[in-house]
A and B are shown apart, each in its own frame.
Chain A
Amino acid sequence: MMREARIRRMPMALSALVALALAVLPIPTVLQAFRPDFLVLVVFYWSIESPRAGGLTLAFMAGLALDVIQGVVLGQHALALTLMAGWATHLRLRIRVFSVLSQCLTIFALLTGYQFVLFWVDGATGNPVTAFGRWLAPVIGALLWPVLNALLGRVHER
């Protein structure tokens, strides 16, 4: 059992690292608002598929990494990701049997919640970003979910 847990953590860490790199990958300025929160989606996937492997710890760590790499208030993404990953873990049994559409809608709700926490912390720390563009990321992320789910599923199976 111990060995299995270790095997499961490797793809988890790797996919998180790749997603972190994707989060700062330079893309044209016009497209930047459309960039989905890859790392958040990856964290959701692991929270739903194997919460025992430490989905919340992953969420907290990934959030901290985002905070450091994006240079925002330390703990902002960590808080948002922890809360939403907790929620995703709570919903995991339901999400797994949902149809693709319902899954997308659930993920959309989770991503919106994530953005809202970020928005709230931004406001509370006196740095509000009121650009409407920030609410685009959840839509794109939700649309991307089935693809990412299938992709990570294949990684997971191996």
Chain B
Amino acid sequence: MVAFRNTDPAGRTTGLLLRCVLYSLLALCLIIVDKRYDHLGKIRRVLSIVAYPVQIAVASPFEGWDWFRESVTTRDALRADKTKLEGELRVAQFRLQRYEALEAESQRLRALRDSTAAITDRFVIGNIMDLDLDPFRERVLVDKGAQDGVFVGQAVLDSGGVFGQVARVGQLTAEVILLSDATHAIPVQVNRNGLRTVAVGTGDMGRLKLPYLPTSADVVAGDLLVTSGLGGGFPAGYPVGTVADVKRDPAASLADVDVKPAAALDRSRELMFVWLKPQAAAPAKGAAPPAPQPSPPPSPGQTPAKQASEPPKAARVAPLPRADQP
């Protein structure tokens, strides 16, 4: 009966069209303003607070279930865990023994070369919220936001290595774009020989690609890739992944290199947000410009300042292969 009262075709249609056009124009304006200008950050931040209860409501049952499972684990399981962790701690401490000395030495050598890589200053741990965002973009929501000092472009690590970077910050939450997102690129270096290139995501959480290496490049399966620190967004020297497969097609000028990410992109629950230590010698680096390098700059000394203004999404501009030494 409700339906019958509303059927007033002549009167409704014009009103409908008008409202439809008005709302669409409003939405279009929002899109353009959000894309072109940076004024909507505040609005979005407020809206994200409104969305927070929904996100919490969805995520909390799953977190509750995890908590429940954790609290009913048996003594044996806990003991086994403890033994394993103690073993890992021992190995880690053993590795750490020389770390301080090595870092000091590395600093000294870098000072000699007048090149400084940004060094991590402090961490904040965040938990991934149990939410699915867009199924076709590799992003996660983390329960740390602007009020914890998280900023756009900030490097995010997990226990295995580099996880991604902050794409968007809300008041209480932050959206992290994964290394494996098809629009993400990160400047890396082959640990064995220092060969610099860019690792880009494929949209598949278990795979990255090095699309800009010539077929003659010295890279073999098993090579460890670490962040090069170029561009300043990511701290240098953190593992990004290992080369899984190198295909060299003699007819192609570029090699086809697959990389397995070091971070557990599909399994991690806890992430570390990293702040880089500001360094007097490198004015452009300390401020931690957000975007990853679309192409490796020819020398570590020059960091294009314009990078800072680009959002990470737009970072993947086809870099030229020439920047890599064969």
* Chain A interfacial positions (CB closer than 8 Å to B): 4, 8, 17, 20-21, 24-27, 29, 32-33, 35, 49-52, 56-57, 59-60, 63-65, 68-76, 78-79, 82-83, 86, 89-90, 93, 96, 121, 124-127, 129, 131, 133-134
- Report the Cα distance A129→B12, complex, angstroms: 37
B21 (CB) vs chain A CBs: closest residue: A86
Choose one: B7, B16, B57, B141; the contact of A90 (CB below 8 Å).
Answer: B16
**Distance of B130 from chain A, by nearest CB (Å):** 5
Contacts of B3 in A (CB 8 A): 49-50, 96
- From the candidates B24, B133, B313, name the one contacting A82 in the complex (CB within 8 A): B24
Cβ contact of B54, chosen from A17, A56, A82, A86, cutoff 8 A? A17
From residue B50, how far is it (CB to closest CB) to chain A in Å?
8
- Residue contact B54 to A69, C-beta cutoff 8 Å: yes
Q: Closest chain B residue to A47 by CB distance?
A: B16
* B167 on the A face (CB < 8 A): yes
Shortest A143–chain B CB gap in Å is 18
Instruction: List chain B positions with a Cβ less than 8 A from chain A.
Output: 2-3, 5-7, 9, 12-13, 16-17, 19-20, 23-24, 26-31, 33-35, 40, 43-44, 47-48, 50-51, 54-55, 57-59, 62, 130-137, 139, 141, 167-168, 175, 183, 203, 205, 266, 313-314
Pick from B23, B134, B136: contact of A78, CB below 8 A.
B23
Measured between alpha carbons, how far is A133 from B204 in the docked complex, in Å? 13
Q: Does the CB pair B132–A68 fall under 8 Å?
A: no
Q: A49-B3, A56-B16 are in contact. Are A71 and B30 (CB under 8 A)?
A: no
9 closest A-B pairs by beta carbon, nearest first, are A75-B30, A86-B20, A79-B27, A32-B135, A75-B31, A78-B27, A74-B34, A82-B23, A75-B27
Query: Are the C-beta atoms of B133 and A71 separated by less than 8 Å?
Result: yes
Closest A-chain residue to B59, C-beta based? A26
Describe A's contact surface by its main secondary structure: helix
CA distance A84 to B75 in the complex (A): 56
Contact A51 B16 (CB under 8 A): yes
* Interchain CB contact under 8 A, A129 and B136: yes
**Secondary structure class of chain B's binding surface, majority of residues:** helix
Q: List 17 A-B contacts (CB under 8 A).
A: A24-B133, A25-B58, A25-B131, A26-B59, A32-B135, A50-B3, A52-B2, A52-B6, A56-B20, A57-B23, A71-B141, A71-B175, A74-B33, A82-B20, A83-B24, A90-B16, A126-B313
Give Cα distance in the complex from A17 to B54, angstroms. 8
Q: A25-B58, A75-B29, A93-B7 are in contact. Are A56 and B23 (CB under 8 A)?
A: yes
CB of A149, distance to nearest CB on chain B (Å): 14
The residues of A that contact B136 with a CB separation of less than 8 Å are 33, 129, 131, 133-134
Residues of chain B contacted by A79 (CB below 8 angstroms): 24, 27-28, 31
CB contact between B20 and one of A21, A24, A83 (< 8 Å): that residue: A83
* A26 to B, closest residue via Cβ: B130
Point out the residues of chain A lying under 8 angstroms from B19, CB to CB. 56, 86
**Which B residues are CB-close (under 8 A) to A64?**
47
Q: How far is the CB of B138 from chain A (nearest CB, A)?
A: 10
Give min CB distance, A135 to chain B, whole Å: 11
Q: Which residue of B lies closest to A49 (CB)?
A: B3
A residues in contact with B31, CB < 8 Å:
73-76, 79, 121, 124-125
Chain B nearest Cβ from A80, distance in angstroms: 8
B44 A21 Cβ-Cβ under 8 A: no
